[in-house]
A and B are shown apart, each in its own frame.
Chain A
Amino acid sequence: MELFLKIAAAGVMIMLLFYLWPTFKQWQEHGPKAEKGDWQAALLPLAAVVGLVVLLVMLVR
C-alpha cells in the first residue's frame, strides 16, 4: 500500500512538473522584470522569515 502510494505521489509530482513548465516559461519570457530596489524589498521579509524559523527552532530545543 505504502509503496503504491509513493509511486503514485511521484507520478503526480512529475505531472506537476509538466504543469509548472509552461507557467515558468511564460513568467520567464513575458513576466515583469525586477527594477532597482525590488529584490531588496523582497529579500528583507524573506530574511525575517528565516530569522523567525531559527527562533522557533531554538524555542522547541
Chain B
Amino acid sequence: MANQYSIARSPQAVLETNKVLKNTYLLLAATLAFSAMTAMLSMALAMPPWVYLASVIVSMVLGIFVLPRTAQSASGVGVIFLITGLLGFGLGSILSMYLALPNGPSIIATAFGGTALIFLGLSGYALTSKTDFSFMGGFLFAGMMVVVVAMVANIFLNMPALALAVSGAIILLMSGFILFDTSRIKNGQETNYIMATYGIYLSIFNIFISLLQILGIMGDE
C-alpha cells in the first residue's frame, strides 16, 4: 500500500529534497570546521573578550542584510563562510576566557558534547518523525522576539539570573528551531541549502554558547 507521503510528493520532488538535505549537511559540516579553525586562530592570537561582541554584531548585520540577497547565487557560499568564520573567531576569545578557569576545559568539553547530542538527537528525531514541525513557526518567532528584548535589557543590566534564564530559553528555542528547520527541509518547504545551513548553524552556535554560559555559572562554586 502506498503511503500518503509518496502519493503527495512526486519522485522528482523527493530527489530534490534529498539533494537540499545532503547539500545542507555538507555545507554545515564545512562551516563548522571553518569556525573551529578561526576559533583556534583567535585563541592562538589571544583575542580579548570584546572581539566576541564585535564579531556577533558584524555577522548579524551580514546575516540580516547580505546573506538573504546572495543566498540564490554562488556568492552566498562565500558570505556564509564569512559569517561563520567571524562567529568562530569571536567564539575563540570566549573559549580563551573559559580555559583560564580552573574547571574551564571540562566545561568546554561538556558544552561541546551536549551541543552535539542535542543537534544529532533532534535532527534524527525530526528526520524520522511523521510530524511536520512547521506548525511551531509562529511560536518560535514570538519566543525569539521576547528573548531578544530580554537580551537587549541584559546588555545594560548585567544580571546573572536574567542571563541564566535567557540562556535556558535560547537552548529551548534553538532546539525548537532545529526541529522546525529540519522538518521544513525534509518536507520540501526550504529549497535553499545556504539559508537552511545558516539556520541550523545559528541554532548549534547559540546552543553551544548558552550551554557554556549555564555550565559556567552553575559549575562555579
Q: Interface on A for B, CB 8 Å cutoff?
A: 1-2, 5-6, 8-10, 12-17, 19-21, 23-24, 27-28, 31-35, 37-38, 41-42, 45-46, 48-50, 52-53, 56-57, 59-61
**Chain B neighbourhood of A34, CB < 8 A:** 135-136
**Chain A neighbourhood of B114, CB < 8 A:** 52-53, 56
Q: A17-B148, A20-B148, A60-B106 are in contact. Are A12 and B61 (CB under 8 A)?
A: yes
B152 touches A14 (CB 8 A): yes
Summed over the interface, the residue pairs from A and B with CB atoms below 8 Å come to a total of 124
Whole-angstrom distance between the alpha carbons of A9 and B153 in the complex?
Answer: 11
- Count of chain B residues near A, Cβ 8 A: 51
A31 touches B53 (CB 8 A): no
**Chain A neighbourhood of B135, CB < 8 A:** 31-35, 38
**Chain B neighbourhood of A52, CB < 8 A:** 114, 117-118
Main secondary structure of the interface of A (DSSP, over half): helix
A49 touches B175 (CB 8 A): yes
Main secondary structure of the interface of B (DSSP, over half): helix
Q: A6-B156, A49-B122 are in contact. Are A1 and B50 (CB under 8 A)?
A: yes
- Decide if B110 is an interface residue (CB 8 Å cutoff): yes
B158 nearest CB neighbor, chain A only: A6
CB distance from A28 to the nearest CB of B (A): 4
From A41, A49, A61, B219 is in contact (CB under 8 Å) with A61
From A9, A37, A50, A56, B211 is in contact (CB under 8 Å) with A56
